[in-house]
Amino acid sequence: ALLAGNTVILKPAATTPLTTLRIGELVKDLLPPGVLNIISDANDLGGAITSHPDIRKVSFTGSTETGKKVMAGAAEALKRVTLELGGNDAAIVLDGVDPKEAAPKIFGAAFQNSGQVCIAVKRAYVHESIYDAMCDELARLADAAVVGDGLQQGVTLGPLQNKSQFEKVLGLIEDARTQGKVIAGGGRAEGKGYFIRPTIVRDIEDGARLVDEEQFGPVLPVIKIKDGEDAVRRANASEYGLGGSIWSKDLDRALDLAGRMDTGTVWINKHAELAPNIPFGGAKFSGVGNELGEEGLAEFTQQHVINMAKA
């Protein structure tokens, strides 16, 4: 937004203001007064921003339900919006993949920031021929993870950000116990705080809350598939379409399946990789518009055409 020449109001979520306010401290002497304005609230200023007549564009990152409210608030003034919303990213792992090689990458993409990432792997569809081995590898990695204070040496996973999300994830785990088999983790970690052990659930199917909903926490359901076409069909059945990935030794096959995934981004043999020169956006209930790349820059501009004839 700044590169495109705009003045900006930047408002973090009410539950996570500190990093954004710190950015303000760092850049306050680098920009002219009024160019970048950072405000924090008690979750009561979002509507004022989206409906304000002097604000021409709103870019929002957050939940799908809040995104709908942002879009509705912006509609009265035909304000343009970019929405980067919820996701339920599927990792589709085909036959021939080495579980020992792929599992650490999938685990890392699922449990980064304890799963509190919009494009984290939220569900894994694994071919029946390697299903048991993949489940075992993921469970081994989960058991080996060190949960605790991120300022302590050796800790690999931190807490959930707030009590509400902590309780939601614990509820999803308990529901998953009736739908599948918990093979690692399965509850809160020892000590004070909103810490949950990284949890792997196998023998679970579509229709379970943990598979169909965005958990946004350290829990990964692993679903058995017969082939890639079956997995793509099941992945596409979600209302979300932020990202997804195909894992295969056959790149032509992976590329064919990737072209049929109804998501803004599909990675092959990796997941959750972003770069400033590559556009990023969601399909379906995962968002509107693009961030990053030339396409993302254009979202913060107004096209202006001058069409002239000879005098």
**Cα 90 to Cα 105: distance, rounded to the nearest angstrom:** 14
Catalytic residues: 84, 118
**pLDDT tens sequence across 72-90:** 999 988 999 999 999 999 9
pLDDT recorded at residue 191: 82
User: What residues does 283 pair with on adjacent strands?
Assistant: 241
Structural domains of the chain sorted by starting position, each given as residue range(s) with its CATH number in brackets = 8-85+286-298 (3.40.605.10), 89-268 (3.40.309.10)
The stretch 292-303 carries a mean pLDDT of: 96
pLDDT recorded at residue 242: 98
pLDDT recorded at residue 190: 85
What three-state secondary structure class fits 174?
A: helix
DSSP 8-state secondary structure symbol assigned to residue 118? T
**Cα 38 to Cα 12: distance, rounded to the nearest angstrom:** 8
